[in-house]
Amino acid sequence: MNKITTPPTLIMIFGATGDLAKRKLFPSLYQLYLKGSLEKRFAVLGIGRREWTNEQFTQHVRDSLENSSHDQDRIDSFIEHCTYESHDVEDSSSYIKLKERADELDQSFDLDGNRIFYLAMAPEFFGTITDHLKADGLTDTEGFCRLVIEKPFGHDLPSATALNKQIRQSFSEEQIYRIDHYLGKEMVQNIEVIRFANALFEPLWNSRFISNIQVTSSEVLGVEERGRYYEKSGALRDMVQNHMLQMVALLAMEPPISLSTDEIRSEKVRVLRALRPVEGKEVDDYFVRGQYGPDENGEIKGYRENSNVDSDSNTETYVAGKVMIDNFRWAGVPFYIRTGKSMSVKSTKIVVQFKDIPMNLYYNKEHSLDPNLLVIHIQPDEGITLHLNAKKSNLGTDTDCIKLSYSASSVDGINTPEAYEKLLLDCILGDATNFTHWDEVRHSWSFVDKISEHWESTKDETFPNYPAKSMGPAKSDEMLAKDGFEWWPVGEQDLEE
Ligand code: BG6
């Protein structure tokens, strides 16, 4: 990233002793500091329930930077901007102390009263904190106030609506930055550019030329220590309601009339409004749920054996779905999505499959033409691959699939920033484009709620129905096979071939 100058800012992190702050937020802020985007006029106020001293906190921040840099001087000077305040989220007097501390930092670092409140903590406290921030005067400053809020944003539409209503009493929609960290990923941000900056794709980007689009986000890790959260969430709420549907929206949206936040978001909302709702028994035709059992060698335990997980749990750790977008552009084109834990590969990939050409001159019994594919590699590789047919290098007319690849991750000098780094920078700059608007959240919950209602009312007796370290239940392959398709493999290293 080139150096981008930011306005002076106080970044107040609620949940500063937690995992997210340690793994993502401090390293990202430090990167922004190294790149010069944060210079002298910034401060980080860590806020947590624990009675930590400043020294304990700064040591915690140092530990979090272990993998970022060994330049002690730079770390020392960054740490001079970091301080800690222990806090009780329910207690007004605690907020009054916090305000005094924020005002002091404002003075000493000359921050113009600009504040970001980052809620990196359990969602049950979101509403209480925002109520207090306003009531106890923390939002009462000369500068800007922004609220960054982590997922989950509610558990379903009614709870999300109630939470939104509560938050909106203290912050306007423009001040709220709802994080979906997929929107900070380099190649997710690239979807729009690939689509709207290439004459090659946009004319073909519709139901006349595309047969289906597949979006996969598979993880190798299981649920590990997150059983308590995951039992209530499952893959549908954890991944589909947000990350997966956001990628679908970016793939399916109409070209916005400009790149402004409002224009982009309103095009995404239009896609989410056009999702074909599926409910009741119909869900079984469009969605497949899975839960992992132990792997075939018995080395990895099944989901039900994790701590805080019911031994008879009905929670899905895998979802595959056929999402239909009922509008003119996409009529009849399935968007297949799948995501799961404890799968054989860690990969997030989009495969756009183009329709077969009307007449195949090169068909012979042994070999039919492969479809053209555009593969967008989101992680761990970052890049794109275009699958084309070309002549095999021999005397005949046999064809072969060739792959044109661009691998962003292997271009010298490109070190794509962490999603959180980009999102934090956007928030400091006041650019909300890559955060989710309430309307997006609302429409995606209303789509997902109907599926979860059906799943919660019917126990899946086949659970566990896929072994750990596999690509999910057979029913998922069958869903595509019924339409005459199959999942394109996501594990192969297209970019290196
Ligand atoms: C989070 C989910 O939002 O995304 C996790 O809560 C999941 O369960 C994670 O593991 C996946 O993110 P990434 O960036 O590793 O694909």
Taking the centre of ligand 1 as the mean of its atom positions, its distance from the CA of residue 233, in whole angstroms, is 13
- Which sign, positive or negative, has the C-alpha torsion 96, 98, 102, 107? positive
Measured from the CB, is residue 219 less than 6 Å from ligand 1?
yes
264-290: average pLDDT: 98
Percent of the chain predicted with pLDDT > 70: 96
CA 235 → CA 151, 229, 322, 482, distances in Å?
14, 11, 15, 24
- What local confidence, expressed as pLDDT, does residue 365 receive? 62
Measured from the CB, is residue 418 less than 6 Å from ligand 1?
no
- What local confidence, expressed as pLDDT, does residue 406 receive? 94
Q: In the predicted model, what is the mean pLDDT of the chain?
A: 94
- What local confidence, expressed as pLDDT, does residue 227 receive? 94
248 band by pLDDT with thresholds 50, 70 and 90: very high
Measured from the CB, is residue 186 less than 6 Å from ligand 1?
no
Looking at the predicted structure, is the pLDDT value of residue 496 above 60?
no
Give dist(CA 238, CA 152) in Å, integer: 8
Looking at the predicted structure, is the pLDDT value of residue 362 above 90?
no
- What local confidence, expressed as pLDDT, does residue 413 receive? 53
59 band by pLDDT with thresholds 50, 70 and 90: very high
338 band by pLDDT with thresholds 50, 70 and 90: very high
Give dist(CA 283, CA 263) in Å, integer: 32
- What local confidence, expressed as pLDDT, does residue 157 receive? 98
- What local confidence, expressed as pLDDT, does residue 360 receive? 80
CA 414 → CA 15, 186, 202, 417, distances in Å?
32, 11, 27, 9
- What local confidence, expressed as pLDDT, does residue 274 receive? 98
Measured from the CB, is residue 150 less than 6 Å from ligand 1?
no
Taking the centre of ligand 1 as the mean of its atom positions, its distance from the CA of residue 90, in whole angstroms, is 29
Looking at the predicted structure, is the pLDDT value of residue 364 above 70?
no
Looking at the predicted structure, is the pLDDT value of residue 1 above 70?
no
**Which residue among the candidates 243, 387, 437, 454 is catalytic per the annotation?**
243
Q: Which residues contact 110 (CB under 8 A, 6 or more apart)?
A: 8, 41
470-486: average pLDDT: 97
Mutate to test the pocket of ligand 1, among 229, 233, 237, 238 (most ligand atoms within 8 A of CB): 238
392 band by pLDDT with thresholds 50, 70 and 90: confident
- Give the dihedral of Cα atoms 374, 379, 382, 384; nearest 10 deg: 0
Taking the centre of ligand 1 as the mean of its atom positions, its distance from the CA of residue 284, in whole angstroms, is 25
399 band by pLDDT with thresholds 50, 70 and 90: confident
Given a contact cutoff of 8 angstroms between Cβ atoms, the answer to whether 184 and 242 are in contact is no
Across 63-77, 125-139, 199-213, 377-391, least confident range: 63-77
- What local confidence, expressed as pLDDT, does residue 460 receive? 97
Q: Express each pLDDT in 100-115 by its tens digit.
A: 999 999 999 999 999 9
- Give the dihedral of Cα atoms 452, 457, 463, 466; nearest 10 deg: -20
Looking at the predicted structure, is the pLDDT value of residue 469 above 60?
yes
- What local confidence, expressed as pLDDT, does residue 355 receive? 96
Beta bridge partners of 333: none
**Who wins on pLDDT, 316 or 370?**
316
- What local confidence, expressed as pLDDT, does residue 398 receive? 81
In the residue annotation, 243 being an active-site residue is answered as yes
**Who wins on pLDDT, 366 or 1?**
366
